[in-house]
Amino acid sequence: MTECPECGATINLPPGTEVGEIITCPDCGVELEVVSLNPPSLELAPQVEEDWGE
């Protein structure tokens, strides 16, 4: 169990969750990246940017 860094909602990580996985906060809908499992920790997921052909 951990907390959403955006809205403070309590989030239960499902069994089998892995570091680097992207989950969505059920309260505010923001995408979060799992950065640690012990202790559970979440950060805002990085926004995917287009490379504009580079």
Enumerate domains of the chain plus CATH numbers. Answer: 2-44 (2.20.28.160)
pTM exceeds cut of 0.85: no
Extract the tokens encoding 15.
């069994």
Q: Does position 14 have pLDDT exceeding 70, yes or no?
A: yes
Q: For residues 34 and 11, what is the distance between their CA atoms, to the nearest angstrom?
A: 11
CB 19 within 8 A of CB 45: no
> E strand or H helix at 28, and its extent?
none
Extract the tokens encoding 45.
């997921």
Q: Does position 6 have pLDDT exceeding 60, yes or no?
A: yes
> 38, 40, 9: which is closest to 24 by C-alpha?
9
pLDDT in tens, 23-54: 999 999 999 999 999 999 999 998 766 665 55
Q: For residues 51 and 23, what is the distance between their CA atoms, to the nearest angstrom?
A: 24
